[in-house]
Structure formats: structure tokens, C-alpha cells
Structure 1
Amino acid sequence: MNVFIIGVGLIGGSFAIDIKAAFNDAKIFGIDGNPEHLENSVSLGFIDHASDFDQLDQADVVIIAIPVDATVKVLPQVLDQINDDCLVFDVGSTKKKLCKTVEDHPKRRNYLAVHPIAGTEFSGPKAAIANLYRGKTNIICEVEKTAFKLQEKGMEIFSRLGMRIRYMDPVSHDKHIAYVSHLSHISSFMLGKTIIEKEKNERDIFDMAGSGFASTVRLAKSSPAMWAPIFKQNKENVIETLQEYITNLNQFKELMENDKFDQIYQEMENTNYIKTILKGIS
């Protein structure tokens, strides 16, 4: 099985590691605009060969793991190059614009729109790790538009990597992911920004930052090259979630200004229910 991975960073590289472990016949080909990334991925051993778009006709599977703005441009080009039996899937955090872009492409049936809910705050080939996707949810959009035999090929990969499957339409996906992923990244970036601007002494930040701060601001280490395009593509939903978040922050601030700490306690106690919802997620 020839697997071509476009973008050999954390997400693409982790797919490469796990597919090589799960499929004995898998040969992994890497395509990346950064030559150093390709060199690193080959030297780390999870890419067998550096490749380019001209060889995509040899692919059995193509995984697109690049920023979503680049994916919108690259996906039609990939579909133009592949053979009729090749499965193509991307791993982007937005789906509405991407699905719309290729809805009339002659090889739309070869494309499976997926979003694995997995990752870390790190990027690049050296960040790739084994078992990143085990036990994680993989959201699939518009599955009915993908050829059945290629759906089966994708499900075999996802099953062997230990992923849970959830089906969703692209509009619902983008709306829900704005709340549970995109907003948390914005919150983390802005918390980091606030601390950097307020605490000018870096040693004070380091010495006084506990595990709570470190975990809350962890996502601020994420790649702006990946996240800025996500916010742009999902602008409408992100703005809506931000407005609701800002309203809650202002209400909390007003409660403090008016010494209504009993209500603050009640707000926090009610929100503790999130522990039940997220039980089992580490």
C-alpha cells in the first residue's frame, strides 16, 4: 500500500508512524514544502521516500495534513493527479469550505472529509508520536459522497489506528468545533498575551506559574501558521462563540464588582458538571 502524506509534521508524521506499524505492506511517501521537514522525517524513519505531486498517480492513499487554507488549494490538485482507486482524506479542523470547494470535482467520490480530534501543542516532524490517534474521535463529514469501497479502505485504516468514528455534516461540524476547540485555543493565546504584557519579568512568570496556569496556557504554544487560517475559515462561528464567552466573562466581572461571591460560587459549582461530561478524557 503506497501512502502519500502531504505535510509531515505532528499530524501527518503521527499518521505515518501508526500506519507503518499497523500495515506491514505500507510504504510511506512524504511531500512537504519544507525540505528540512522531509529530511527530518526520513532520518527519523517514519517516511520511506521523499516524493512530489508528480508521483501521486502511484498512491493508494493520500493524506493531506497541512494548514486548512493551503488544503483548499491543494485538494483539487491532488484529486486531479490520483488514480481512480485512490482514497484521499484531509485532517483539517474546518470542513464546510473544503467540502464546498470540491463538491463538483469529477473525483469527489475519491475524497473523504475527516477530522481526527487529536494533537498536541507542538509541531514539526520531531513532534510526531506513536498512538496519537488511539482512542480518539474521528469526525467524518459527507461520507455518502465517497465511493463505498474507498470508505471501507478509510475505515480499515481508522480501525487499525484505534479511532472512534462520529458522522456529522460540515456545517454542524464547524459550528460545534468552534466551541470545543477553536474557542479554547483563542482563550489560551489571549491568556498568554495578557500575562506577557502584564508580567514584564519572565523569571516571575516562570517561578510563579503552577500546573494550572501551565495547562491553561498550553495551547498558546500551538502553531499560528495552522490556527490563523482555521479562525479565518470558521470566522462566523468563532465570532459567535467569542461573543458568548465575552458575555460570560463580563457577567463574572460584574459579580465580583458587586461582591456577589455567593453567586460566583454557584456559577462555579454549576460548571463543575463539566467533570461528568468529560469523564475519562485525559
Structure 2
Amino acid sequence: MIVSIIGVGLLGGSFALALREKYPNMRFIGVDKSEVNQKIALAKGIVDEIMPLEEALRVSDLNVLATPVDTIMHLLPVLLDQLSDGSTVMDLGSTKGLICEAADAHPRRAQFVAVHPMAGTENSGPGAAFKELLPGKNVIICDREKSNPDAVALVEALLRDVGMKIHYMTPTEHDLHLAYVSHLSHISSFALGLTVLEKEEDEKAIFDMASTGFSSTVRLAKSSPQMWAPIFDQNKANVSKALGDYIEFLKRFKEAIDSKDLEASLRFMARANDIGRVLGGIEKK
């Protein structure tokens, strides 16, 4: 099988490395506009060769769109226009509503499988890719009934082979849930990083005083703006709602602190502690 990784970064690169572990004879083609990314992907053994998009589409059985979501929106119709009969396109985008709408409008919709691996780090690019990123993680497939059964079967088999746990959602469900459990956490981290940078001009003091709690909370603020700005834009209605709910709790917490209402603060934190039970149950599944 020949697999093209279009956008050789953290997710696409890690997917290729995980597949290589399972299928050492699988051939990987890299498609990326960055010459630096091309060289790193070749040096790390993520891909066997680099090709222009048109050439890669002619020879590949599976085409993995692993670019930022705004680029996916632009490239998906192009790929479907040029796709060989019997080959498949899957995306790894963090939003699904607009991407699936674009696919629905194309006569070759059945050759597309909408996928979102629930995995990542604050780092980006092929240099950050590693084969252990995806195994054991959840992955969401949207609108599988609109895809050719053979295309879905291929994608599902590869995802399972790299050790991922598959879940199914509509694009609407996906974008709503992800606004709360992924997109909001990144915005919170960006905002916390900005808050501290604005108030602490002495960068050495930040480094010296930062605890593991601060470091873990602000870790996502190091994520790529080029990747996350389009995600927030494409899912803006859900992200705005999630932000509104979050801001309301922040206001209530501030009011409790301002009014020295220790009991209210304790109630907020005790309720929040229940997230440990929820996450514990998820991890055991």
C-alpha cells in the first residue's frame, strides 16, 4: 500500500511512524510546501520520498490530509477532483462541521473519511512526530455512513492497527464536544500565558517561580497559532458558547473571593473535584 501524508507535521508524521511500526513494507510519500519539513520528514524516516501533490495522488491508495483545518478546507475539493478511482482521502482535522459540508458538496464524497485523532502535544512539525503519540488514544470518525464501506473499512483497520479506540459522532456533536474539552482548554492556556506575561516583565522571575502546576496549565500556550486560529474560527459558535460558560464561572469565583465567601469557594472547588471521577472512568474504558 502507498500512503501520502499531505502536511508532514506532528499528527501526520506520528500516524506514518505508527503505521511503519505495524507495516514495515508500507510506502510513504510526503507532500509539504516547506522544504525544511520535507528534509526532516525524510531524515526521520517518516516518508520514503517527497512528491508534488498531483503526482502523489496518482499513485497513492490512501491520502492523509494532515494540514491546518483552513488548508484542509481548500485542499479537500482539489484532492477529490483529482483522486484516482478506488483511492481514499482521510483528514485529521480538529473541526468537522465545515470540512464535512465541503465534502458533502462533492460528487466523490464517498471516497472521503472524516477523522479526528484525540492526540497531540504543544509541539508542531515533523521534528515533533513520534510513533507513540497515537496508540491507546481515542479517535473520532464522523458521518461514516456517507463514506464508501471499503474506504471506511480501510481507515478503521489502520486506526485499530496503530492501537486507537474508535468512536463515532456527527460533525455537529463533534464540534460541540470538542469546543469544551479541547478548544476551550487551549484558549484558557493562551489567556493564562498572556496574563502572566503582561504582569511579569521579569522573565527570569517567571522561570524561577513557576511551579509544576503553572507549567502544566500553561503548556498548551506553546501550541502553534497557525494551527489553532483556524480551528477557533471554524468552530466559533461553539467556542464562543464554551467561553461564555467558562467566563461565567470565573466571574462567580471572583465574586466569592472578593466577598470573602470561603464557603462558596469551597463549594466551587468541591464540585470541580468531581472531574477526577469522570476522567478516571474514561481512562478505565
TM-score bin, normalised by smaller chain: over 0.9
* CA–CA distance in structure 2, aligned partners of residues 102 and 272 of structure 1: 41
Mapping of residues 143-158 of structure 1, within 5 Å:
143-158=144-159
Q: CA deviation at 1:155?
A: 1.0
Q: Does the 8 Å CA contact 1:58/1:82 hold for their aligned counterparts?
A: no
Q: How many Å apart are 1:104 and its aligned residue?
A: 2.6
Q: How far is 1:54 from its partner?
A: 1.6
| 1:264 and 2:265 are equivalent in the alignment | yes
SS in 2 for 1:46: coil
Residue 61 of structure 1 is matched in structure 2 by 62
d(CA) in 2 for partners of 1:253, 1:21: 50
Equivalent residues in 2 for 1:207-226, closer than 5 Å: 207-226=208-227
The answer to whether the Cα contact below 8 Å between 1:131 and 1:161 also exists between their aligned partners in 2 is no
Q: Which residue of structure 2 lines up, in the alignment, with residue 6 of structure 1?
A: 6
Greater shift after overlay, 212-221 or 77-86? 77-86
Within the alignment, does 1:18 sit opposite 2:18 as a pair? Answer: yes
Q: Which runs of 5+ in 2 are unaligned?
A: none
Could you say which residue in structure 2 is the equivalent of 1:73?
74
> How far has the Cα of 1:35 moved from its partner?
1.0
- Cα separation, 1, equivalents of 2:71 and 2:273: 39
Aligned residue-pair number: 282
What SS does the aligned partner of 1:102 have?
A: helix
Three-state SS of the structure 1 residue aligned to 2:104 is coil
Match in the other structure for 2:125: 124
The residue number in structure 2 matching 1:50 is 50
Residue of structure 1 in register with 2:32 after alignment: 32
The 8 Å contact of residues 59 and 82 in structure 1, kept in 2 or not, is answered as no
Task: Say if 2:151 is the partner of 1:164.
Answer: no
TM-score (norm: length of structure 2)? 0.97
Letter in 2 for 1:58: V
Structure 1: segments with no counterpart, 5+ residues? none
Match of 2:184 in 1: 183
Distance 2:211 2:51 in 1: 45
Give the Cα–Cα distance (whole angstroms) in 2 for the partners of residues 207 and 75 of structure 1: 46
- Does the 8 Å contact 1:53/1:81 carry over to 2? no
**C-alpha contact 1:188 1:216 (8 A) present in aligned 2:** yes
8 Å Cα contact 1:114-1:138 kept in structure 2: yes
264-273 vs 184-193, greater mean Cα deviation: 264-273
SS at match of 2:46: coil
Q: Does residue 111 of structure 1 match 2:112?
A: yes
Instruction: Give the RMSD, CA atoms, in angstroms.
Output: 1.1
Q: CA deviation at 1:16?
A: 1.1
Residue 150 (structure 1) shift: 1.1
Q: Distance in 1 between matches of 2:40 and 2:133?
A: 19
- For 2:221, the aligned partner's letter is A
Deviation at 1:281, TM superposition (A): 4.7
Q: Which residue of 1 aligns with 2:276?
A: 275
Q: CA deviation at 1:164?
A: 0.5
- Please give the alpha-carbon distance, in whole angstroms, between the structure 1 residues aligned to 2:133 and 2:5: 16
Deviations 1:153-207 (A, max 9, x none): 1111001010001100001110110000000000000000000000000010000
* 1:221 counterpart letter in structure 2: K
Q: Secondary structure in 2 aligned to 1:3?
A: strand
| Equivalent residues of 1:199, 1:205 under 8 A apart | yes
Read off the aligned partner of 1:223 and give its amino acid letter: S
